[in-house]
């Protein structure tokens, strides 16, 4: 799982990619590469345009409360509901 620093690095990389800007090497680059959010090819960083869904292994690493929330959000997304609750 990524911490807040890695998420901030990812957001900076995405913004820089959209503007075709160069950034210093992110502190959390190895974490972003490990999670498959960034690739390094020929000395350049490639950033995914979207964050992929969590794998089953990643979901298992979530706390029980986060697993419930993840399941609720996935269900809401698959049904087109924005909250997953009845109104």
Domain that holds residue 13: 4-47
- Whether residue 39 is found in the same domain as residue 60: no
pLDDT tens column, 31-87:
999 988 999 999 889 998 788 888 888 899 899 999 999 888 888 777 776 544 443
- Is there a single domain that holds both residue 8 and residue 31? yes
What is the rounded CA–CA span in Å between residue 35 and residue 57?
12
Residue 3 · residue 10 · CB < 8 Å: no
pLDDT score of 81? 60
Which secondary structure element, helix H or strand E, spans residue 41, and what is its range? strand 38-41
DSSP 52: P
Q: Are residues 57 and 42 in the same domain?
A: no
Q: Domain count of the chain?
A: 2
- Joined together, the tokens standing for residue 14 give 């995405």
Q: How far is CA 68 from the centre of its chain?
A: 18
Q: Is 0.75 topped by the overall pTM?
A: no
Does residue 40 share a domain with residue 58?
no
Q: What are the beta bridge partners of residue 39?
A: 46
- Asked whether residue 65 falls in the same domain as residue 79, the answer is yes
Q: Going by C-beta distance under 8 Å and a sequence separation of 6 or more, which residues neighbour residue 12?
A: 23, 26
């Amino acid at each position: 799982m990524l911490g807040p620093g890695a998420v901030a690095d990812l957001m900076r990389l995405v913004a820089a990619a959209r503007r075709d800007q160069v950034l210093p090497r992110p502190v959390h680059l190895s974490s972003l590469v490990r999670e498959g959010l960034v690739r390094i090819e020929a000395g350049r960083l490639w950033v995914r345009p979207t964050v992929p869904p969590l794998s089953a292994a990643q979901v298992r690493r979530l706390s029980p409360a986060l697993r419930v929330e993840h399941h609720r959000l996935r269900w809401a997304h698959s049904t087109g509901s924005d909250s997953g609750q009845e109104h």
